[in-house]
Amino acid sequence: MAIDILMPALSPTMEQGKLAKWLKKEGDQVKPGDVLAEIETDKATMEVEAIDEGVLAKILVSDGTDNVAVNTPIAILAGEGEDVSAASSAKAPTVPAPETQSAPTPDMQAEGMADRPAPVELPGQAGLSTPAAPSVISSRASYDAMAEIPEGTELVNMTVREALRDAMAEEMRKDQNVLVMGEEVAEYQGAYKVTQGLLQEFGAKRVIDTPITEHGFAGVGVGAAFTGLRPIVEFMTFNFAMQAIDQIINSAAKTLYMSGGQLGAPIVFRGPNGAAARVGAQHSHDYAAWYSNVPGLKVIAPYTAADAKGLLKSAIRDPNPIVFLENEILYGQSFPVPKLDDFTVPIGKARIHREGKDVTIVSFSIGMTYALKAAQELEKEGIDAEVIDLRTIRPMDTDTIVASVMKTGRCITVEEGFPQSGVGAEIAMRVMENAFDYLDAPVIRITGKDVPMPYAANLEKLALPNVAEVVQAAKAVCYR
Amino acid sequence: MAVAARKAGRAGAGAANKTTSTKGSTRGAAPNSPQFDKNQDLSAYNEMLLIRRFEEKSGQMYGMGLIGGFCHLYIGQEAVVVGMQMATKEGDQVITGYRDHGHMLACGMDAKGVMAELTGRRGGLSKGKGGSMHMFSKEKHFYGGHGIVGAQVSLGTGIAFANHYRENGNVCLTYFGDGAANQGQVYESFNMAQLWKLPVVYVIENNRYAMGTSVSRASAQTDFSKRGVSFGIPGEQVDGMDIRAVYAAGQRAIEHARSGKGPYILEMQTYRYRGHSMSDPAKYRTKDEVARMREEHDPIEQVRRRLLESWKLSEDELKAIDSRVREIVNEAAEFATHDPEPDPSELYTDILL
């Protein structure tokens, strides 16, 4: 059977090119891999190789022809034992696909791909429209976090640090696939003592001191997770995870999608995030907004010890890659934690930390300290604030925020991160999208200032949010 | 040209594989030209030819607009992955970068599924959501298919870490190019692999060009087998155009890793005939250089000659192999051309489990 040799494209955007030179002539025997011709564009030259064996029966486009459209037949190859003259007089060949081509989509035009053949369309497949994204709103009802702890449960005070350690230890007892790796997690007992005692209980095989090599050990963790292990990778701080962010995003977050659902990475990246005290710009960055931008990740940032424990346990069991953002200043703070054999908190559910009716304050992690103190101040002035602790940044519990705003009609957000494209910006947008008609005032965001974190004590204080700012914003949206 | 001439000279002379070891050579000299029996040559020929024909077809389909985006062909390098795969046992894993079609075929992944992924169809191995650079198969122990140069080195080290953790006796073959060999995380991984004695073989496919930059223009140390010296990782330079040399070196390296001695580096001296990707101006090397490699060192031609001369196969017998391979490739192309695109509802699936 005669085979058409088509004008190839050098790139997806190429529409035409020059047939510079034929290296074979009519009647030549060709075999796969033989270079038949050279084509040129203003950017590059390329060799046209034979894919099939046969005789070059007829050259349809001669040397030096300009502006040859991609997919134009440029020659005819006669198969073995075929009559060359018959092949060369065969009718003009057909190119697969273009006949059934649908109108180019705007995207294709934008990419300069309008003339590219579209994939063959099957009946019933015409008119591709973008499917709607899954709704972020399900019930318009707030989540009842009280139900997480059965009535009558004994509560014991413990620090966030101890709660995190207990969460890891409990999960490691349950599942041999869980391990901890990071800098100083074993013999030093954790740079911030979060992994204290784990080496003694679980041994060096499962509690692994790594070299100072964030990019490398993050990748090692993800590779191990691909095989089904459940590594907990500790970063001494998330500032250092910048070295590893490629592995977190490109390898951990995207592989499930890129593999069509075959291969996921059940891994937890955890460590302190955001400002500590007087450690300067390179050790104070809050990455909540960054990671929350990435599909394929879950991002958790707890405030209380109970949430730290319950969410970390859930994170370790979760089959997805999780960024678990802790806070150095919160490590030493104590909170009541339920004394239960297996206390977990669901990922993706906010908690109403304080009920109120006049204004909704949404925050997370250490931002909650400002929000709660402000609520106390506001109470003195007769403003009853509802404080929502997001706990999970992604997926964000829009239901709980929206239900609250529908009740209060007012919303402010509090975070230590930078303002632009921050978590507060995202919350404000969701409120506008879902509860615009309920708003009695524009949303106000309280954030860290738009500057690298200064070292000087007075400047650092100015760069961070403060309670007075939150109080002032709450009063502003209440028109007080 | 100087680079090519040196390369050609070395390969042409059939130089013995050279071992780099920090404590001096721990083994005797590697055999000069290890021999294949007939079955090995036949199997090598089949596997390599499948990759060659598959890649030629991919190039053709790219030219027809059926494959989009990036498409990095493996033509010329076939002996590396096929020879290494012959040295593995069931359970050993493979991970590589973006020039990955050959690795997938050598791992036994379905040609139809690979080709349909290239055309972005629902029957593709990643349901059309990964593309040329992103395919995976747990069943065949193939872990991708990674587009960030060098990232697979840490990931492969992590797979080896898991083997070590589970004590399952498997080895992870971690492939990367001469370009990736200059990435920082490669050395972070070397350090951990040797520190923890992880069962990993680093296969550096030195095809002389990182995109358009020749090795001598990008690397202070162009002997990639020495890249592990400061960590005490042994390495060898291997004639990557001779599948017998690849296989023999692969066996030594895998045995080293499997026996608990830690990582091993193989620098495969190979050559890619085609451009870095489909749109390659080819201004950085001469046509002579490419032609000489194809004519004098083609990995498939070497085996073909042995099949004819040593094993007395007839041209007809070889032709029969050829048509069987071509049939597989044509069937794959046919499927990949007519399989429908993914259902629009797939847009929002497989993001989280």
Taking the domains of chain B in order of start, what are their residue ranges?
2-10+35-339
Sign of the alpha-carbon dihedral angle for B26, B30, B35, B41: positive
pLDDT of residue B329: 98
The beta-carbon neighbor of B59 closest among A49, A215, A225 is A49
> Does the distance separating the beta carbons of A256 and B351 come in below 8 Å?
yes
Cα–Cα distances in angstroms (integers) from residue A79 to residues A53, A57, A83, A92, in the given order? 7, 9, 8, 17
Report residue A93: phi and psi, to 5°. Answer: -75, 160
Average pLDDT (A196-224) is 98
**Do A10 and B279 count as a contact with CB atoms less than 8 A apart?**
yes
User: What does the DSSP 8-state code read for residue A165?
Assistant: H
Nearest residue in chain A measured CA to CA from B348: A133
A39 alpha-carbon distance from chain centroid? 42
Least confidently predicted of A4-13, A187-196, A344-353, B75-84: A4-13
Comparing C-alpha atoms, which of A378, A409, A392 is closest to residue A349? Answer: A392
Select from A97, A220, A296 the Cβ nearest to the Cβ of B66. A97
Cβ–Cβ below 8 Å for B136 and A264: no
Contact call for residues A185 and A198 (beta carbons, < 8 A): yes
Spatial distance between the Cα atoms of A243 and A356, rounded to a whole number of angstroms: 42
- Decide if A215 is catalytic: no
Q: Confidence band (pLDDT; 50, 70, 90) for A123?
A: very low
Q: How far is A292 from chain B (nearest CA, A)?
A: 14
Nearby residues of B139 by Cβ (< 8 Å), 6 or more positions away: none
- Residue spans of beta strands (DSSP E) within chain B: 18-20, 93-96, 142-145, 172-177, 200-206, 209-210, 213-214, 235-239, 264-269
Cα–Cα dist B79/B174, whole Å: 16
The answer, yes or no, to whether residue A229 has pLDDT greater than 60, is: yes
The Cα of B68 is separated from the nearest Cα of chain A by a number of Å equal to 6
Q: How many CA atoms lie within 13 A of A93 on its CB side?
A: 22
Q: Could you confirm whether A283 is annotated as catalytic?
A: yes
* CB of A440 closer than 8 Å to CB of A474: no
How far lies B290's CA from each of A127, B217, B243, in Å?
46, 18, 19
Rounded distance, CA A6 to CA B185, Å? 43
- Per-domain boundaries in chain A: 3-92, 153-338, 351-477
| Alpha carbons within 13 A on the beta-carbon side of A360 | 31
Using CA coordinates, name the residue in chain A closest to B172. Answer: A223
Q: Which residue type does A350 have? A: A
Strand-pairing partners, residue B96, are: B145
DSSP 8-state code for residue A196: T
Q: Which amino acid is at B42?
A: L
Average pLDDT, chain A: 89
Distances (CA, A) of A220 to A203, A246, B135, B163, B328: 19, 13, 19, 12, 37
> What is the CATH class of A3-92?
mainly beta
B347 touches chain A (CB under 8 A): yes
Q: Characterize B27-62 residue by residue with b for buried, 16 or more Cβ atoms within 10 angstroms of its Cβ, and e for exposed.
A: eeebeeebebeeebbbbbbebbbbbbbbbbbbbbbb
Instruction: Pick B151's closest partner by Cβ from A11, A217, A246.
Output: A246
B65–A246 CB contact, under 8 Å: no
Q: Does A221 touch chain B (CB under 8 A)?
A: yes
Residue bearing tokens 């399989």: B339
Q: Quick one: angle between helices B287-297 and B2-13, nearest 10?
A: 10
**Strand partners of residue A385:** A359
Which chain B positions have a beta carbon within 8 Å of A93's beta carbon? Answer: none
Contact B148 A246 (CB under 8 A): yes
Closest CA to B135 of A136, A433, A139, A262: A262
pLDDT band at A145 (very low <50, low <70, confident <90, very high): confident
Chain B segment 34-53 residues within 8 A of A by beta carbon are: 52-53
In the block, residue with structure tokens 């069962």: B199
Using pLDDT thresholds of 50, 70 and 90, give the confidence band for residue A39.
Answer: confident
| Interchain contact B228–A (C-beta under 8 A) | no
Among A56-60, A166-170, B111-115, B120-124, which stretch is predicted with the lowest mean pLDDT?
A56-60
pLDDT tens digit sequence for A186-209: 999 999 999 999 999 999 999 999
Q: Can you give the pLDDT of all 353 residues of chain B as single tens digits?
A: 333 333 333 333 334 455 554 443 334 344 566 899 999 999 999 999 999 999 999 999 998 999 999 999 999 999 999 999 999 999 999 999 999 999 999 999 999 999 999 999 999 999 999 999 999 999 999 999 999 999 999 999 999 999 999 999 999 999 999 999 999 999 999 999 999 999 999 999 999 999 999 999 999 999 999 999 999 999 999 999 999 999 999 999 999 999 999 999 999 999 999 888 887 878 899 989 999 999 999 999 999 999 999 999 999 999 999 999 999 999 999 999 999 999 999 999 999 99
Q: Which of A83, A76, A74, A73 lies closest to A57 in space, CA to CA?
A: A76
Q: How many CB atoms lie within 10 A of CB A191?
A: 18
pLDDT (tens digit per residue) in A16-36? 888 989 999 999 998 887 888
What CA–CA distance (Å, rounded) separates A36 from B244?
32
Asked if domains A3-92 and A351-477 share a fold, the reply is: no
Say if the Cβ atoms of B162 and A227 lie within 8 Å.
Answer: yes
Interface contact flag, A257 B350, Cβ < 8 Å? yes
Contact residues on chain A for B351, CB-CB shorter than 8 A: 256-257, 295-296
Q: For an interface test with B, give the residue of A49, A226, A294 to mutate (most B CBs within 10 A).
A: A226
Q: Is A69 on the interface with B (CB under 8 A)?
A: no
| Closest chain B C-alpha to A71 CA, distance in angstroms | 6
CATH topology of domain A153-338: Rossmann fold (3.40.50)
Give A83's pLDDT tier (boundaries 50, 70, 90): low
Instruction: Judge: B165–A179 Cβ closer than 8 Å, yes or no.
Output: yes
Please tell me the least confidently modeled range out of A46-50, A322-326, B341-345.
A46-50
Pick from A435, A440, A443: which is nearest to A362 by CA?
A443
Q: How far is A456 from chain B (nearest CA, A)?
A: 35
> Are B63 and A70 a contacting pair at CB < 8 A?
yes
What does the DSSP 8-state code read for residue A98? G
Which of these, B80, B96, B14, lies nearest to B47 by C-alpha position?
Answer: B80
Return the residue of A nearest to B135 by Cα.
A259
Task: Residue B55: list chain A partners with CB under 8 A.
Answer: none
- pLDDT band with cut points at 50, 70 and 90 for residue A91: very low
Asked if B295 is an interface residue toward chain A (Cβ–Cβ < 8 A), one would say no
Q: What is the CA radius of gyration of chain A?
A: 31
**The pLDDT of residue A116 is above 60:** no
- Which amino acid type is present at position B324? R
ipTM: 0.90
Instruction: Choose, from A170, A183, A283, A386, the residue flagged as catalytic.
Output: A283
Q: Is A7 on the interface with B (CB under 8 A)?
A: yes
Pairing of strands B172-177, B200-206: parallel
Q: Which residues of B touch A116 (CB under 8 A)?
A: 65, 68
The pLDDT value given to residue B28: 38
Residue A119: CA count within 13 A, CB half-sphere: 25
Q: Hunting for tokens 């162009």 — which residue is that?
A: B222
Most confident range (mean pLDDT) of A132-136, A383-387, B67-71 is A383-387
* Residue bearing tokens 């999608």: A257
Q: At what angle do helices B38-63 and B315-338 cross, to 10 degrees?
A: 40
pLDDT for the residue numbered A344: 97
Output the CA angle B130-B132-B134, nearest 5 degrees.
40
Q: Cβ distance B172 to B159 under 8 Å?
A: yes
Catalytic residue among A183, A214, A415, A426: A214
Instruction: Find the mean pLDDT for residues A449-453.
Output: 97
Contacts of B230 by beta carbon, 8 Å cutoff, 6+ apart: none
The answer, yes or no, to whether the previous bond of A395 is cis (omega within 30 of 0) is: yes
**A10/B contact by beta carbon, under 8 A:** yes
Residue A354 amino acid letter: R
Indicate which of B71, B167, B192 best probes the interface with A, i.e. most A CBs within 10 Å of its own CB: B192
Question: Domain B2-10+35-339 is in which class?
Answer: alpha beta
Dihedral sign, Cα of residue A209, residue A214, residue A220, residue A223: positive
Q: Are strands A155-159 and B264-269 parallel, antiparallel or unpaired?
A: unpaired
Of A7-11, A26-30, A189-193, A394-398, give the lowest mean pLDDT range.
Answer: A7-11
The DSSP output letter for A1 is: -
CATH architecture for segment(s) A351-477 = 3-Layer(aba) Sandwich (3.40)
Residue B160 makes CB contacts below 8 A (sequence gap 6+) with A223, B171, B172, B174, B193, B198, B199, B200, B257, B263
Q: Which of A258, A299, A323, A347 to mutate to test the interface with B (most CBs of B within 10 A)?
A: A258
Can you give the pTM of this predicted structure? 0.86
